[in-house]
């Protein structure tokens, strides 16, 4: 069963990524298709994540499936000491597919090995969050018209931010140039720089975040610099206002530039940016719906052709 589950998109081929984006595009044209009618989707959130859960549940509902699940692990038997395996085996009796968020890393991989139904990883600790990566890719593809040869600037917490790591790996097929903009304490880890080298991905590192540096960006991917990540709070105080995007910094940027953010934001994007047409983070979240509809269909064996031919219902 492991093959049909979605644990990570790190292993997805270029063709598979483009195929999934094409499917997401079909769902954007018409999100309401009863392709999963009669199916039951379980959403098991061992860790709360309102945004991701609502997006998956909306996707399931718009595909005509019914949804069961829990949103608070305190109310479930895992708080009584039940193993993950037992919970997964029990839910597999009821559902055709399990969407799972877990606070432990590797939980989705393990669940996919024991479950008789496909698992969709909706985030496992700091490890993987493939549906986020898929919606990031779809947002880039949609706004730029291509994934090829783009200048992608990653800003903020590049050390712990799993979304930037996954995006970096997924983009390896498309000849990007990355710019890593981060304070010293939150720099891109060596293992990812090594990954860039072995996959011939070009990258430049900066500690300054200024108008000049972002002048030739196609994508500006902002992340939150979190206080709790710093061992030296003096350092945090020094850098906390350095990695804030303000509207006036966007004056001389490229017309095709779009600003992405996985959300929730705190203060790293000033509110005066919201009205700039280059701000794209709310539409980005909406793209999550289409990306997740595509993911649910794909793991259940529904093909792009099935989606395109869905005119009967």
Partner 1 sequence: MSENKQELQVAALKNGTVIDHIPSEKLFTVVQLLGVEQMKSNITIGFNLESKKLGKKGIIKIADKFFCDEEINRISVVAPHVKLNIIRDYEVVEKKEVQMPDELRGIVKCANPKCITNNEPMATLFHVIDKDNCIVKCHYCEKEQKREEITIF
**C-alpha distances in Å from residue 78, one per residue of 95, 97, 129, 145, 280:** 18, 19, 22, 45, 38
Cβ 187 to partner 1 shortest distance, Å: 18
187 is catalytic: no
Do 63 and 300 form a contact (C-beta atoms < 8 A)? no
Spatial distance between the Cα atoms of 4 and 95, rounded to a whole number of angstroms? 15
Cβ 105 to partner 1 shortest distance, Å: 4
74 strand-pairing partners: none
Q: How many residues of this chain bind partner 1 (CB under 8 A)?
A: 18
C-alpha 24: how far from chain center = 14
CA nearest neighbour of 153 among 202, 226, 225: 202
Residue 132 in marked binding region: yes
Site for partner 1 in 96-155 (CB under 8 A): 102-107, 109-110, 124-128
Site for partner 1 in 74-93 (CB under 8 A): 83-85
**Closest to partner 1 by CB, 124 or 218:** 124
Write out the two tokens for 206: 């900066």
Residue 246 in marked binding region: no
151 strand-pairing partners: 177
Spatial distance between the Cα atoms of 147 and 173, rounded to a whole number of angstroms? 9
Do 208 and 155 form a contact (C-beta atoms < 8 A)? no
Residue in the structure block whose two tokens are 């719906």:
289
292 is catalytic: no
Question: What mask of x and - would describe binding to partner 1 in positions 176 to 215, judged by CB under 8 A?
Answer: ---------------x------------------------
Residue 80 in marked binding region: yes
Cβ 125 to partner 1 shortest distance, Å: 5
Residue 146 in marked binding region: no
Residue 255 in marked binding region: no
Cβ 20 to partner 1 shortest distance, Å: 21
Q: List strands edge to edge, sheet with 97-102.
A: 66-70, 40-45, 97-102, 119-124
**Closest to partner 1 by CB, 21 or 88:** 88
Residue in the structure block whose two tokens are 């991989």:
109
Query: Residue 42: what are its φ and ψ, rounded to 5°?
Result: -100, 130
51 is catalytic: yes
Cβ 127 to partner 1 shortest distance, Å: 6
Cβ 55 to partner 1 shortest distance, Å: 24
Site for partner 1 in 1-60 (CB under 8 A): 8
**C-alpha distances in Å from residue 228, one per residue of 15, 88, 160, 261:** 39, 33, 11, 20
**Closest to partner 1 by CB, 104 or 204:** 104
- Kindly name the residue from 129, 165, 258, 292 that is annotated as catalytic: 129
Residue 172 in marked binding region: no
Peptide bond into 114 cis (omega under 30): no
Does position 160 bind partner 1 by CB under 8 A?
no
Do 250 and 257 form a contact (C-beta atoms < 8 A)? yes
List, as residue ranges, the binding site for carbamoyl phosphate. 51-52, 101, 129, 132, 263-264
List, as residue ranges, the binding site. 51-52, 80, 101, 129, 132, 162, 224, 263-264
The catalytic residues are: 51-52, 80, 101, 129
Interface ranges with partner 1 (CB under 8 A): 8, 83-85, 102-107, 109-110, 124-128, 191
């Amino acid at each position: 069963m492991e093959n049909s589950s979605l644990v990570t998109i790190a292993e997805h081929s270029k063709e598979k990524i483009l195929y999934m984006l094409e499917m997401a595009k079909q769902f954007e044209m018409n999100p309401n298709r009863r392709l999963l009618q009669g199916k039951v989707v379980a959403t098991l959130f061992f860790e709360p994540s309102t945004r991701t859960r609502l997006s998956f549940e909306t996707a399931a509902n718009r595909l005509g499936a019914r949804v069961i699940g829990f949103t608070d692990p305190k109310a479930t038997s895992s708080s009584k000491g039940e193993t993950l395996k037992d919970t997964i085996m029990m839910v597999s009796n009821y559902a055709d597919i399990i969407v799972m968020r877990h606070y432990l890393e590797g939980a989705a991989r393990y669940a996919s090995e024991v479950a008789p139904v496909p698992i969709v990883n909706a985030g496992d600790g700091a490890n993987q969050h493939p549906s986020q990566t898929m919606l990031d890719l779809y947002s880039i593809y949609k706004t730029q018209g291509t994934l090829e040869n783009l200048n992608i600037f990653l800003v903020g917490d590049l050390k712990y931010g799993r979304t930037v790591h996954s995006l970096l790996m997924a983009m390896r097929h498309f000849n990007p140039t990355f710019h890593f903009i981060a304070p010293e304490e939150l720099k891109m880890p060596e293992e990812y720089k090594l990954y860039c080298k072995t996959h011939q991905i070009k990258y430049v590192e900066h500690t300054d975040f200024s108008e000049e540096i972002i002048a030739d960006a196609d994508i500006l991917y902002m992340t939150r610099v979190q206080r709790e990540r710093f061992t030296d709070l003096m350092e945090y105080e020094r850098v906390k206002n350095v990695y804030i995007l303000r509207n006036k910094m966007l004056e001389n940027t490229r017309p095709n530039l779009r600003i992405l953010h996985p959300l929730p934001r705190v203060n790293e994007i000033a509110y005066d940016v919201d009205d700039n047409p280059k701000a794209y983070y709310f539409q980005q979240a909406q793209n999550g719906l289409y990306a997740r509809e595509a993911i649910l269909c794909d793991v259940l064996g529904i093909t792009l052709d099935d989606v395109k031919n869905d005119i009967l219902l």
